[in-house]
Amino acid sequence: MSDKVVHVSTADFQSTVLDSKEPVLVDFWAEWCGPCKMIAPALDELADAYEGRAKIAKINVDEQRELAVKYHVRSIPYLLVFKDGEKVGEQIGAVGKAQLAGMLDKALA
């Protein structure tokens, strides 16, 4: 697991995600979720590749139910891209690294 991936809780969501100067790809996931585990290596690689330009954050839906409810997480993995505190991208379900990179590239454009 990349040390560049940030694990976010309700307590630091505002400062880490909404107040971030760079775009943030947020992965809503759970320990028991097979597809979540499948995309984890791609997220680790993206965290390294986009270091200094964008952030990768993970939110465990079992531990952070308040955030899961707030963002209407009904299925995981559920990926959101935030830029300047606004949701600018969304993906439900596991996708490949290229699609995830495309979401970040769009937010960086």
Is residue 50's pLDDT more than 70?
Answer: yes
Known catalytic membership, residue 91: no
What's this model's pTM, rounded to 2 decimal places?
A: 0.95
Which of 6, 24, 33, 81 is flagged as catalytic? 33
Burial of 35 (0-12, 13-18, 19+ CB in 10 A): middle
The two tokens of residue 22 are: 């760079």
Domain residue extents for the chain: 6-108
Q: What is the pLDDT of residue 1?
A: 62
Q: What percent of the chain has pLDDT over 70?
A: 98
Give catalytic status of residue 84 as yes or no: no
The pLDDT assigned to 3 comes to 83
Choice among 5, 24, 26, 36 that is catalytic = 36
Q: What is the mean pLDDT of residues 26-32?
A: 97
CATH for the stretch 6-108 = 3.40.30.10
Burial class (CB in 10 A: 0-12, 13-18, 19+), 45: middle
Average pLDDT, the chain: 96
